[in-house]
Structure 1
């Protein structure tokens, strides 16, 4: 990692992809993705118009979904050489992870869970990445 590391990442219109990303000190914006898997760590995650996609995330704010459905979340579980150094360099709080706290801007009912997102069941999760 160097001083030119991105402060934000924009990902648009992917299909059937796996995307892995170490810590980002700012935001990750994902739009119009289908049948993908994202493994990423960031301060803010915004997901728009995305379907049938899994997210393994470390996010220090709350993830936000909008106009999306069948998106599932699990904790960030990618391990690689240099990961701890990348957390330190970005200033991303390693101990604050709101991976399971998601706001759905299309579901405003406070007394019922959004049908557009869910927690990825343990039996569905990939426990080790071959990257």
Structure 2
């Protein structure tokens, strides 16, 4: 029965081919000089290389392309990205390299094993994926939501 439902869903919503990465324009706007300090760049930990230097257009884990910055905090930056395989928009929470985020990852792992038929299940944010961005001096964990 479950395989029949999968077949019906697949025929109604056929898989789309992965998207190629977007090409962002390089002209037609004012560029902020690299010497201008923005947002989390004021933190000593940014200047010491604890934050990962994300650029618009970067592709992570061969499938998540960064579209824009959503925010930052003392332990991470958060980015809007597009999943080039599923065509959906996601957020990437890229942690600083000195923070231990095992507790947050463990909690999301527990949530993923919860009963999806529970009435409140749809109201709880879940992790779609996680990966690590390697970098000399320390890796950066990344959470996809």
Larger radius of gyration, structure 1 or 2? 2
TM-score by length of 2: 0.24
Q: Which of the pair is proportionally richer in helix?
A: 2
Q: Which has the higher contact order (CA 8 A, sep 6+)?
A: 1
TM-score by length of 1: 0.25
Q: Which of the pair is proportionally richer in strand?
A: 1
